[in-house]
Amino acid sequence: MAPVDAVAPAGSTPWRAKIITLFPELFPGPLAASLTGDALRQGLWALEAIDLRTFGIGRHRNVDDTPAGGGAGMVLRADVVAAAVDATQDKARAEGSPLPVLVMTPRGVPLTQGLVQDLAAGPGAIILAGRFEGFDARVIAARNMREISIGDYILAGGELPAMVLLEAVLRLIPGVLGSAQSLVEESFGAGLLEYPQYTRPRTWEGRDIPEVLLNGNHKHIEAWRRAQAEADTQARRPDLWARHIKASGKRGD
């Protein structure tokens, strides 16, 4: 697809997402809906989906070949991917600044809120969404790409992981969400899972909203929420709890 037609607010530069994929028609996909879609149309962020096939070799625009050493499937060629990345980076520089190059792969570092915050603070990203058996490893090293994983499982391609990464980042772009406070009081914001939430009716199927949330004492509410976040993190995500304890210098017992 061509770049989405949107105008950035005067005096601002939108966060830029450039996706290199064999299926550019999949974008913006769900990112065109709700708040991220509104922000895209308002020019708070910009999207360009680049068709990798455009850089393919020969009459048939080949982008892949058989794995060296044998094995099932096909591997995306280093020369084709490099040509696509270089052309995209040249355009990014012409627009004002180079962009970090990310590749979505199960071999990558886990996507965390800290990484998301780092990306949101930058000018944008070039994101490679692969298919088949992945990319020739040489191009990842040669173009200094950062490999990122959204979990320990395998999907058919990198387009959905790219959308997951983008939505996580876009929520942090100023103006995309209606309430900045919601960014502070959510899971992983302080290294903990978020506390449980409740709303009306006060009683539902014999289950009551905890009384502490109804008494208007904000100091007690804050303490209860903190205790719930710590207890849930310790029970559900011992890995997060261990990191939280280490970072805070507290005892974990």
pLDDT in tens, 211-243: 999 999 999 999 999 999 999 999 999 999 999
Q: For residue 107, tell me if it sits in a domain.
A: yes
Verify that 62 and 165 share a domain, yes or no. Answer: yes
In a domain, 8, yes or no: no
Q: Residue 78 above 50 pLDDT?
A: yes
Residue 223 lies in a domain: yes
pLDDT in tens, 185-200: 565 667 899 999 999 9
End position of a domain, from candidates 142, 170, 198: 170
Domain boundary among 170, 196, 212: 170
Label residue 123 by pLDDT band (50, 70, 90).
very high
Sign for the pseudo-dihedral over CA of 227, 221, 195, 202: positive
- Residue 177 inside a domain? The answer is no
CATH number at residue 57: 3.40.1280.10
Quote the DSSP letter at residue 154.
-
* 190, 135: one domain: no
Domain hosting 225: range is: 185-248
Q: Is the model's pLDDT at 126 over the cut of 50?
A: yes
The answer to whether position 1 is within a domain reads no
Do 31 and 115 share a domain, yes or no? yes
For residues 218 and 113, membership in a common domain is answered with no
Alpha-carbon span 249 to 133, nearest angstrom: 43
Instruction: Let me know: does 105 contact 149? Beta carbons within 8 Å.
Output: yes
Are 116 and 194 in the same domain? no
In percent, the amount of the chain with pLDDT more than 90 equals 86
User: In this structure, what DSSP letter does residue 219 have?
Assistant: H
What pLDDT score does 5 carry? 45
**Domain end position, chosen among 122, 145, 170:** 170
Residue 176 lies in a domain: no
Report how many domains make up the chain.
2
Same domain, 19 and 116: yes
* Claim to verify: residue 166 and residue 139 sit in the same structural domain: yes
> Can you give the pLDDT at residue 178?
74
Residue 7 has pLDDT above 60, yes or no: no
Query: What is the pLDDT averaged over residues 196-205?
Result: 95
At 201, which CATH number?
1.10.1270.20
pLDDT of 112 higher than 90: yes
Higher pLDDT, 181 or 180: 180
Statement to judge: residues 144 and 198 lie in one domain: no
118 and 72 inside one domain: yes
Average pLDDT for the chain: 92
Percent of all residues in the chain with a pLDDT value above 70, rounded to a whole number? 90
Say how far apart CA 135 and CA 64 lie, in whole Å.
9
